[in-house]
Amino acid sequence: MTGGFTDTTKQSQDFKGHGGDSDSSDNSDSSHDGMHAAVVKKSWDRLSEGNDLLLFGSRKTSVSLSTLHPTQVQIFRLWQIYLENANPLLKVTHTPTLQSRIIDAASDVANISPTSEALMFSIYCISVTSLVEDECQNLFGSSRKELLASYRFGCQQALLNCEFLRSSDHDCLTALYLYLISVRSDTDPRSLSSMLGAAMRIAQRMGIHNESAYSKYTALEAEMRRRLWWSLIVFDNRVCEMSDSKSTMLTPAWDCRTPLNVDDFDLRSEMKNPPAVHGKPTEAIFAVVRSELYEFIRQSAFHLDFTNPALKGIAKNIKNGSVPEEGELDTLENMLEDRYLKSCNPENPLHFMTIWTTRECLAKSRLIENYSKHSEPSVQQADAQRNAAVSHALRMLECDTKLITSPLTKGYLWLIHLYFPAPAYFHLLEHMKRRPLGQHDEKAWEVMSENYEARFINVDDDNPIFKVFSKIVLQAWEARQAASKQLEQPPLEQPRIVSSIKSRARLILSNPQYSNVEQSHDAPGRNVDNLVMPVPMDFGGYGLMYGLEAQCAMGSGFKGYTDIPGQPMMDFDMNQLDWTAMDWNPMLARGW
């Protein structure tokens, strides 16, 4: 095959014996075992040849994948977009080696190996995903929707051609991962979670979660596998949050080390030992810091309390037990700031993204830790603890607003949209509804207004989930107005978030279609009286943060807030919404 990629990972490598003297009995046994495994694998391949069609349906043999590739110029353009918008955040491909393969493949798209073709199509997919409509039209002369449909179909067919469900090829798994990221915004999180489950099982079969399996790989291959595992893990965890699932793989049950803080050019194919770690930010800084942050989270009690308490016994303390549990997050934050963030240049897009994403995640972790500590009704919470939780929620929103509004992150918005700060909103709104004249309220309304203006600018006024969110906001504001009036205080200045919501509500009410919807509430299948729907963390069944259903079930309020009399957190009539007619995609695209 000429002009195509050469696969970086041969399947036979998975069955090689370990090193040693060729005459030793141990090596002979190892070689024999390797040969036996290879024979068994080939037998399975022959038995199941051509029937690997569980996902994506059957191969469309009438379609030549070479016709679905963009032009050579467009291939290089998509590659450059990938290098600018996706690669810095994911770091699951090695630019120095992959770029030469891209150049070769672009010159002869009819002769590309199946796994390499899948990887190329997945790069097209994630590249277009990172663009907005105008950019797609200007750069490629087609709509974003058309480009995604074509490249996603091509990627599906290419994945089928390389038998991705049974493959142990590194490129193949990388292609599947990039494809799943690209379909995230248009896919029900529950469906995506199931697909990710397949990817995680493939990764485990390949052994990339197991550090002991890395001894047979070069330094380059080992590092790229670690990067892929951690990128998969973090994405899987977020999708599990969105799908209200506790099946996240972010647990202490595996031992893959975090990626090294090195540049791609530090990693060369002939290297047997890993390169020295840099003491300054590298091009992998985002992936490195995020992995270290989630390494801590997967071992933490507050995370496992909500996901898998049975695993708390095997979790390790970051200081081997020498630091009290309540001080571990402080230790982690200080370490990340000193080791990485203080050396970052806030004028650099990747560094800016790393700084504020890390700080937002730390604030979220502190908020979850607060819930974990006060999850039982018998545990009373002091004002200082309540105020601290409010501060964490405010910090989340402030960091998120910086990320959304900065021109530096334009190419990274596809990932930022995945992390809507729902826990912060719901915590603040519930807190202010119960304590409408608290010391943080004025700041909270201002911070929420700023984030709302950044996050909701393109959300359809008539989006049903936006209506639910609006109702929650207005209830908290009405509680503040009532408390102020009771104390005979001067009229309050209306926050911008409230003014905007009321203005948009008037537009909805003036729409003739609204009256028609209102008249149809009694239609069969639209009554939700018996639907279990914990509104604060679960819009329409899509959990926004794992575990908080334990804190806010319908009719119970936040456990641990002893002065909340077991009332529904947000008491509005759910039958006012036509749940069967909802279009979830606009909010799923923004990480709801």
Show the tokens assigned to 458: 């393109």
Question: Based on the structure, what is the number of domains in the chain?
Answer: 1
Strand pairing partners for 553?
A: 557
Exposure of 37 by Cβ count < 10 A (0-12 exposed, 13-18 middle, 19+ buried)?
A: middle
Q: 316 falls in which pLDDT band (50, 70, 90)?
A: confident
Domain membership of residue 222 (yes or no) is no
Strand pairing partners for 100?
A: none
What integer is the mean pLDDT of 147-162? 96
Q: Which residue blocks in 308-463 are alpha helix, DSSP H?
A: 328-339, 349-373, 383-405, 413-416, 422-434, 441-455
Can you give the pLDDT at residue 284? 98
Q: 159 pLDDT exceeds 70?
A: yes
Q: 325 pLDDT exceeds 60?
A: no
What integer is the mean pLDDT of 132-147? 97
Q: 154 pLDDT exceeds 70?
A: yes
Q: 555 pLDDT exceeds 60?
A: no
Q: 367 pLDDT exceeds 60?
A: yes
Helix-strand-coil split of the chain, %, nearest 5:
60, 0, 35
Can you give the pLDDT at residue 327? 77
pLDDT in tens, 61-79: 667 899 999 999 999 999 9
The DSSP secondary structure of 56-88, one letter per residue, reads S-S--TTS-GGGTS--HHHHHHHHHHIIIIIHH
Can you give the pLDDT at residue 539? 31
Show the tokens assigned to 112: 């590309």
pLDDT in tens, 478-532: 999 999 999 988 989 999 999 999 988 787 777 776 555 544 444 333 332 222 2
The more confident residue out of 38 and 164 is: 164
Mean pLDDT of the chain: 80
> What type of residue is 272?
K
Q: Measured in Å, how far apart are the chain's first and last C-alpha atoms?
A: 45
- Only one residue has tokens 């950044």, namely 454
Contact 78, 124 (CB under 8 A): yes
Can you give the pLDDT at residue 445? 97
Pick the closest to residue 418 from 547, 230, 582, 544 (CA basis).
Answer: 544
Q: 25 pLDDT exceeds 70?
A: no
What integer is the mean pLDDT of 14-18? 35
Contact 340, 281 (CB under 8 A): yes
What integer is the mean pLDDT of 37-44? 60
Least confident of 109-113, 288-292, 342-346, 570-574: 570-574
Domain membership of residue 134 (yes or no) is no
Rounded Cα distance, 490 and 292, in Å: 50
Domain membership of residue 535 (yes or no) is no
Q: 351 pLDDT exceeds 70?
A: yes
Can you give the pLDDT at residue 291? 98
Pick the closest to residue 570 from 547, 587, 550, 552 (CA basis).
Answer: 552
Contact 125, 152 (CB under 8 A): yes
pLDDT in tens, 184-206: 989 999 999 999 999 999 999 99
Domain membership of residue 453 (yes or no) is yes
Can you give the pLDDT at residue 235? 98
Domain membership of residue 471 (yes or no) is yes
Q: 96 pLDDT exceeds 60?
A: yes
* C-beta neighbour count of 549 within 10 angstroms: 18
What integer is the mean pLDDT of 561-589? 37
Domain membership of residue 362 (yes or no) is no
The more confident residue out of 586 and 147 is: 147
Can you give the pLDDT at residue 504? 85
Q: 583 pLDDT exceeds 70?
A: no
Rounded Cα distance, 241 and 541, in Å: 11
Q: What is the DSSP letter of 401?
A: H
Q: Which residue range forms the structural domain that includes residue 432?
A: 382-511
pLDDT in tens, 256-272: 999 999 999 999 999 99
* pTM exceeds 0.85, yes or no: no
Q: 563 pLDDT exceeds 50?
A: no
Can you give the pLDDT at residue 391? 96
Helix (H) or strand (E) holding 557: strand 557-558
Report helix, strand or coil for 539: strand
Domain membership of residue 519 (yes or no) is no
What integer is the mean pLDDT of 28-42? 59
Domain membership of residue 96 (yes or no) is no
Rounded Cα distance, 118 and 121, in Å: 5
